[in-house]
């Protein structure tokens, strides 16, 4: 029996829908009569809209793109202004995640977690980050040392 692949779909309203199929984001604004490529191929894994304007596109290797206009314009990579980027070698696994993520090699270190509006939402150790969080995009910064914040994404 052949396996069935169901692509991630994000229904915004009766006219607007996003479908992520074969690493490419497609969108319709006319209820599916016509479809256009909204983001080119490139290992995209998930799409999520928090309302009709704000959407997130997540891919491999930490790719996170955000739209604030319902996907009509450019999908941009968000970075909170207060978290100044510095060199870092942090990697979260898995990322994106459903229940929690870990930072291999940094399990006993403490990290501050910020939401996309640059508001600190808590502190975590590197062994179980994200438990109890709502789905969304977050930025993780080590406590007590300068490093580029690591983007993590909680799904569902």
pLDDT digits (tens, 9 = 90+) for 47-86: 777 777 877 777 766 667 777 877 776 666 665 544 444 4
**Rounded Cα gap, residues 6 and 19, in angstroms:** 10
- Check whether domain 79-156 has CATH 2.60.40, yes or no: yes
Quick one: which of 75, 66, 12 has its CA closest to 38? Answer: 75
CA distance 130 to 124: 8
Please say whether the beta carbons of 47 and 70 come within 8 A.
Answer: no
Report the distance separating Cα 21 and Cα 17, nearest Å: 13
- Residue 42 CA: distances (Å) to CA of 5, 63, 64, 99, 117: 18, 9, 12, 25, 27
* Strand ranges in 50-103 using DSSP code E only, listed in sequence order: 55-59, 64-67
Each residue's pLDDT tens digit, 93-134? 998 899 999 999 888 888 989 888 788 899 999 899 999 899
* Backbone Cα Rg of the chain: 17
Give me the pLDDT at residue 6, please: 54
pLDDT confidence of residue 58 = 75
CB atoms within 10 A of CB 35: 14
Q: Where in the chain is the domain with CATH 2.60.40?
A: 79-156
pLDDT digits (tens, 9 = 90+) for 19-28: 777 777 788 8
Whole-model pTM over 0.75: no
DSSP E strands in 14-85: the ranges are 17-21, 24-28, 36-39, 44-49, 55-59, 64-67
């Amino acid at each position: 029996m052949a396996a069935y692949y169901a692509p991630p779909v994000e229904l915004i309203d009766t006219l607007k829908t996003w479908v992520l199929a074969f690493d490419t984001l497609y969108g319709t604004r006319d209820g599916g009569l016509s479809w256009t490529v909204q983001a080119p191929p490139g290992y995209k894994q998930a799409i999520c809209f928090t309302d009709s304007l704000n959407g997130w596109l997540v891919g491999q290797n930490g790719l996170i793109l955000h739209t604030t206009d319902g996907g009509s314009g450019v999908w941009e990579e968000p970075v909170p202004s207060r978290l100044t980027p510095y060199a870092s070698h942090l990697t979260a696994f898995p990322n994106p995640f459903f229940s929690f993520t870990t930072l291999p090699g940094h399990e006993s270190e403490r990290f501050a977690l910020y939401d996309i509006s640059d508001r600190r939402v808590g502190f975590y150790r590197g062994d179980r980050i994200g438990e109890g969080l709502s789905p969304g995009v977050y930025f993780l910064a080590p406590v007590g040392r300068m490093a580029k914040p690591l983007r993590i994404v909680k799904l569902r």
